[in-house]
Amino acid sequence: MTAIQDYQYGPLANDDNTRFIQLYPAAHFEDPIRVDIIERAYDASKTQDSVSYEALSYAWGSDEDSAYIFVGANSGLRVRYNVTQILRYLRDGITPGCSARTLWIDAMCINQADDEEKGKQVTVMGKIYACATSVLIWTGEPGCDLQALQRSFEGKGKEKMFRWIRRRPNDQIARLMQFFGTGWFTRRWVVQEIVHAREAYIISGSCTMQWQQFRAFVEHLESNISYEALMPHSAAILHHLSNLTAMIATESMHCEVSVRHLFQSTTKSQPMGYMTD
């Protein structure tokens, strides 16, 4: 039996390239995670050697827990626990008959031990997200929050959503605010990760929602709930979400100004330390 060795990153061939994960399906959720790591150009307009891929936007999580995933035939790569869970759920979403799902995940596709490479890759991350077929926004493992939002869109469109919002007890609205006030929604880096996305999807476990649906929900939530009725922290979260969801519709030429506006308005309205990197 061949011994498993630590995966060794090689240097990227040029600055227009990055690495991608080819994630393979498995019979059971807890089966070992198996991937290949390949190098390709991320911009299809500049090369014949590009790849179609999805880019992951997520909160890194704690580095206290980690696990190995298998790379190729006899290599292993240690990643954070939340990355293994993300890969398991995304692996479940592989289309039947498809051999692999191609992903860009910064923690795995960038050599985190190479500061020079990290510096170069960070400068093109906006382009990497923009060139992806879609951006997958991971908000965490399964919960009823995202499913509840999806149910608000069932039935007769906006009127159904209005009734859903009006009938929610305060404790359920507070729980939604708690969901929106943690993890992905509080990261500054999400701005560059989604503002130029061709398509974006919010994922909680195996539950998925299109970004445009989420944006519509936030707009109607803001229109039908009084800021004065919310706790200050919840009001700050809703204000931040309103800015964030509006930003993805902003034209690319105005992106830099919009980013500054989001950070400034957020800083004025949130308690200290609300936004994270």
In a domain, 102, yes or no: yes
Look at the block and give the residue holding tokens 């995202």: 146
Same domain, yes or no, for 117 and 165?
Answer: no
Same domain, yes or no, for 81 and 126?
Answer: yes
Domain boundary among 84, 112, 132: 132
State whether the Cα torsion 209-213-215-221 is positive or negative. Answer: negative
Same domain, yes or no, for 147 and 173?
Answer: yes
Same domain, yes or no, for 106 and 218?
Answer: no
Q: Is the pLDDT of residue 104 over 90?
A: yes
CB 50 within 8 A of CB 99: no
In a domain, 204, yes or no: no
Give the C-alpha distances (Å, rounded to integers) separating 116 from 10, 77, 229: 13, 20, 49
Q: Is the pLDDT of residue 204 over 90?
A: no
- What's the pTM? 0.79
Question: Residue 25 sits in which domain range?
Answer: 5-132
| pLDDT confidence band for 264 (50 / 70 / 90) | very low
- Three-class secondary structure of residue 108 per DSSP: helix
Same domain, yes or no, for 107 and 148?
Answer: no
Q: Is the pLDDT of residue 24 over 90?
A: yes
In a domain, 173, yes or no: yes
Q: What is the pLDDT of residue 187?
A: 75
Q: Would you tell me how many other CB atoms lie within 10 Å of the CB of residue 223? A: 9
Q: Which of 31-45, 46-60, 88-102, 256-270 has the lowest mean pLDDT?
A: 256-270
In a domain, 175, yes or no: yes
Pick from 136, 139, 106, 148: nearest CA to 123: 106
